[in-house]
Amino acid sequence: MAMIVVPVTTTCPKCGKSVVQKPGDGRPEVYCGIPCRRLAEYEIKRVQRAIVNAEDEQKEWRQRADLGMHDDLVGQPGLSARKADWYAGEVARLEARLRELVGG
Ligand SMILES: [Zn+2]
């Protein structure tokens, strides 16, 4: 008796179209086609740079928060801690996007 194989579809992380997975043990297709794969390569590079930048900002604002001087100077208590938290969230958001782009 032949097994009924239900086609598994995933979503292209670049354009959102369905990607029908071919049966077999091969690596699953992440993208719907070559254009999206190429565009994703560029986005991955941009996201990597943005992560490095956000991590640097986070570190810098955290140091300012720990020193406590900056917020007094600009008259905005808690500003540095809020900025550091925001950049921490940005790092997490960018890492989630990177995960999508690599098919995780
Ligand atoms: Zn696509």
Q: What's the gap in Å between 20 CA and the centre of ligand 1? A: 12
Q: What's the gap in Å between 92 CA and the centre of ligand 1? A: 24
CA angle, 80 as apex, 75 and 59 as ends, to 5°? 150
The domains of the chain are located at 32-101
| Dist. CA 66–CA 68, nearest whole Å | 5
Q: Is 9 helix (H, G, I), strand (E, B) or coil?
A: strand
| Dist. CA 79–CA 55, nearest whole Å | 17
| Residue pLDDT, tens place only, 22-52 | 877 788 899 999 999 999 999 999 999 999 9
Compute the mean pLDDT over every residue in the chain, rounded to the nearest whole number. 92
Q: Which long-range contacts (CB under 8 A, 24 or more apart) does 25-34 make?
A: 28/103, 30/102, 30/103
Q: What is the pLDDT of residue 68?
A: 85
Range 92-101 average pLDDT: 97
